[in-house]
Amino acid sequence: MTIGLSFLLGLLAGSVSYFMLGLWWPLAVLLGLFAWLAFGLLDVKMDSTFTLLGGMLLVFCVSLSGMVLRANDQLSGLQYVDTQDVDGTEFRYPVPPLGQARYGEKIYKASGCVACHTQQVTHESVALDVKAMAGEKNLAAVQEAASRFYKLTGRKASGGAALGLPAGEWETIVTGANAADASKARNFLAAAGASVDVQVRFRGEDLMHNDLQNPEGRNWGRRRSVAQDYLFAEPPMLGSVRIGPDLANIGARYNRDMLMSVLLDPKTLKKDSKMPQHGFLFEQAEKDEQRQPTREAEALVDYLLSLKSANYPLPEAPVDQPFTSSMPKPATAPAEAADTAKPDEAGK
Ligand code: HEC
């Protein structure tokens, strides 16, 4: 084979291993060099059965390790992380199922709940808003940084920013930006000496409803689901098509009594409910008596109450972060109020 052709093959091998398999770059260069040498100098022929079989084996091994083993490694290497409760209490996430929840998971599978319910909160997009405040001294530099940002991204200034940023006031620089634009804005403004405040909003119909920012939200979760949420699920029952609401976060949305009445008779919650009754999970009763749940129903509800996965922020899947500068300021620390810049929160 000519040196030119074998060089091309080496280049191909190198770039496949770097860009597609994500190998460490010196390793990819080495692999490319090896392929070049093998075809060019050692005169390996492409038309022998041995080379063809060897090539096929190589392709098989490389794709197996790249697509199956690496993905498996990544998922099985997942660990606990620290997160926060809604009221700020720190704890380790995820929490293993307690009490009868494991047994309840079996009832959930056996009753076919997964046929109509998913356990996966999704989101559609992330939007970032950036506010900035300039002081008297750096006003000119900050104005210049803002107009540089508008010119670079082709966005239009609005509100106070359009009038040239008054000193000492928070002004919105950009709303609904993507991560790249927001981090540009943050970097430009921070470099010019402005205080910068970034707000992160997630949009999607599974997420929390907000008239302005997420009007189609259905309140099914505070954030999207990620692989870490299913560390204790055997197997994860994500579901692909849903008829009823998503249950990934049902434990945070419903209490025990509501869940019992959904199971016994969904029509008590919604008149034209499409969900079937699950009377077989309850004892028979005389006419006017209340039907008591069986052990299975108790366990199933324990399981449902343990489903709170889309409730706590993870490093990988944060929840909405509002502007810190517009939060009520603690009365005792007025000196800190001016310094609300969060330079490393955006762009995630
Ligand atoms: C035939 C499909 C179907 C099956 C099977 C089913 N559900 Fe439902 N479920 C629904 C529908 C539809 C709703 C929404 C109620 C309505 O019509 O408004 C619902 C609502 C719910 C709700 C209330 C959720 C909310 O956000 O309001 C819970 C909890 C629930 N189901 C749990 C279960 C459990 C547990 C099982 C298994 C024992 C189950 N469902 C089986 C269709 C189903």
Q: How far apart are CA 79 and CA 274, in angstroms?
A: 39
Please give the distance of CA 146 from its chain centroid, rounded to a whole number: 30
Q: How far apart are CA 185 and CA 176, in angstroms?
A: 12
Counting Cα atoms < 13 Å in the Cβ hemisphere of 72 gives 6
| DSSP designation for 234 | S
The residue whose CB lies within 8 Å of the most ligand 1 atoms, and thus the one to mutate among 117, 209, 219, is 117
Q: How far apart are CA 225 and CA 273, in angstroms?
A: 26
Q: Does ligand 1 lie within 6 Å of residue 299's CB atom?
A: no
Domain range list for the chain: 3-76, 101-122+219-311, 125-203+317-337
The reported pLDDT for the residue numbered 9 is: 84
Interval between CA 217 and ligand 1 midpoint (Å): 19
Which is the closest atom of ligand 1 to the Cα of 259? 29
Q: How far apart are CA 310 and CA 245, in angstroms?
A: 14
Angle, alpha carbons 181-152-166 (nearest 5°):
80
pLDDT tens for each residue of 302-333: 999 999 988 898 888 888 888 877 665 555 44
Interval between CA 244 and ligand 1 midpoint (Å): 5
The reported pLDDT for the residue numbered 219 is: 92
- CATH node for 125-203+317-337: 3.30.1390.10
Element (H, E) at 172: strand 171-177
Residue 338: band (very low, low, confident or very high) from pLDDT cuts 50, 70, 90? very low
Q: Does ligand 1 lie within 6 Å of residue 267's CB atom?
A: no
Closest Cα to residue 231, out of 71, 122, 93?
A: 93
The reported pLDDT for the residue numbered 1 is: 67
Task: Judge contact between 139 and 167, C-beta under 8 A.
Answer: yes
Element (H, E) at 19: none
The string of DSSP letters for 111-171 reads TTGGGT--------EEEEEEEEE--TTTHHHHHHHHHHHHHHHT----HHHHTT--TTS-E
Element (H, E) at 11: helix 3-15
The reported pLDDT for the residue numbered 108 is: 95
Distances from the Cα of 161 to the Cα of 150, 154, 178, 237, angstroms: 10, 15, 19, 48
Whole-prediction pTM: 0.74
Q: How far apart are CA 70 and CA 90, in angstroms?
A: 32
Q: Which tokens hold the place of 320?
A: 């909405």
pLDDT tens for each residue of 2-53: 778 888 888 988 888 888 777 889 999 999 999 888 888 777 777 778 778 8
Contacting residues for 144 by C-beta, under 8 A, at least 6 apart: 192
- With respect to CATH, is domain 101-122+219-311 assigned 3.50.30.60? no
Q: Does ligand 1 lie within 6 Å of residue 270's CB atom?
A: yes
Task: Judge contact between 247 and 304, C-beta under 8 A.
Answer: yes
